[in-house]
Amino acid sequence: MSTEEKINLLDLDRQAMEAFFEGIGAKAFHGRNVLKWIHKHGVTDFDAMTDLSKRLRAQLKEIAEVRLPKVVLDQPARDGTHKWVLELDRHNRIESVHIPDGDRATLCVSSQVGCALDCSFCSTARQGFNRNLTSGEIIAQVWIAVHRFGKPLTNVVLMGMGEPLANFDAVVPAMAVMQDDLTYMLSKYRVTISTSGIVPAIYRLREASDVSLAVSLHAPTNELRDQLVPINRKYPLEALIPACREYVRNDKRRKVTWEYVMLDGVNDGIQHAKALIRLLEGTPSKMNLIPFNPFPGAPYRTSPPERIEAFRQRLMKAGIISITRKTRGDEIDAACGQLVGQVKDRSRRALKLQRHLARSLG
């Protein structure tokens, strides 16, 4: 059987793994054992899975594999940030970033090859869009980070290349693997999915998963957000804010994390802070203020530090927890908005986006 025909066991969460093993005449507990071997112990060779019978190991070698992307760049930064460029099919490449911070270790994971949403301040958007990642390609980024460093992660954020909620059916099983007690044991508060605001998928996510929600807001009005985050034209703030409020309802520990890139003279004035306070009234919120990370040809500049701090203080006085995100990994283009990978662009922007979202949302 060729590699292309073999099932990649990285694509399977616990439920799917149990079903796979039952389907080949084994027991569900064999699936759980293999899940643990792959993710907890980092074992990809079936012959090394010693609690499986020789017959089952031989059977697995015929029909299955643990297929990891090729690491083509392993690049550290002086601040401890680590970027990996991973090669997939047909020379498409994605990036993931490991960010240590004291006792914490956060991995920023990509969910698509490129991105179709075309946010004007994001370098990834300039690369176009090729395809969704599989569940296995998403969880492989976690596998590589954990087993290259030999240390567990404390947090995973789906904030790398792509719009995670436009790849719903692959992202949700991958997040289930991240949370499983047999694998990476991350709590629902330690796995965060970021979205630019695909409203129907936010409601759907609430029924399918319990991970934390981050939303790329970047503007307090529809007029400005239409320019910065074009998906707002389809799902404006009047639809987005209630969906986010519903997502965190009935959990006192939960807040929506809002991502807000600070663009000099565009969205960083006190008048914008006041409008933001009005917009988020009644929504449990945490605000991440992100100094804009420049890239070649970018039409924006980073807001001055004193303006960012004035903006933050205004939000804090209104009771909105606000943090200015420390820029990490910018020297290796690993900071927020700088991940570009290598994308064989197959998109025709608006038309491609409409079709892609229609498929993603069923």
pLDDT value of position 129: 83
Q: What is the mean pLDDT of residues 267-284?
A: 97
Residues 6+ apart with CB under 8 A from 51: 33
In the DSSP assignment, the letter for residue 342 is B
The answer to whether residue 358 scores a pLDDT higher than 90 is no
If pLDDT is split at 50, 70 and 90, which confidence band does 114 have?
confident
Q: Which domains are present in the chain?
A: 7-65 (1.10.150.530), 70-360 (3.20.20.70)
**Catalytic pick from 115, 119, 122, 336?**
336
pTM above the 0.95 mark? no
**Catalytic pick from 95, 137, 163, 259?**
95
- Are residues 97 and 160 in contact, defined by beta-carbon separation less than 8 angstroms? yes
What digits encode the pLDDT tens for the residues 159-205?
999 999 999 999 999 999 999 999 999 999 999 999 999 999 999 99
| Residues 287, 107, 136: CA angle, nearest 5 degrees | 120
What digits encode the pLDDT tens for the residues 299-352?
899 999 999 999 999 999 999 999 998 765 454 454 444 444 444 556 554 445
Please confirm, yes or no, whether 95 is among the known catalytic residues.
yes
In angstroms, the CA 285 to CA 282 distance is: 9
Please confirm, yes or no, whether 336 is among the known catalytic residues.
yes
Tokens representing 192 are 């965060």
- Are residues 293 and 336 in contact, defined by beta-carbon separation less than 8 angstroms? yes
What digits encode the pLDDT tens for the residues 14-51?
999 999 999 999 999 999 999 999 999 999 999 999 99
In angstroms, the CA 101 to CA 247 distance is: 28
pLDDT value of position 334: 43
Cα 356 from chain centre: 18
What digits encode the pLDDT tens for the residues 209-237?
999 999 999 999 999 999 999 999 999 99
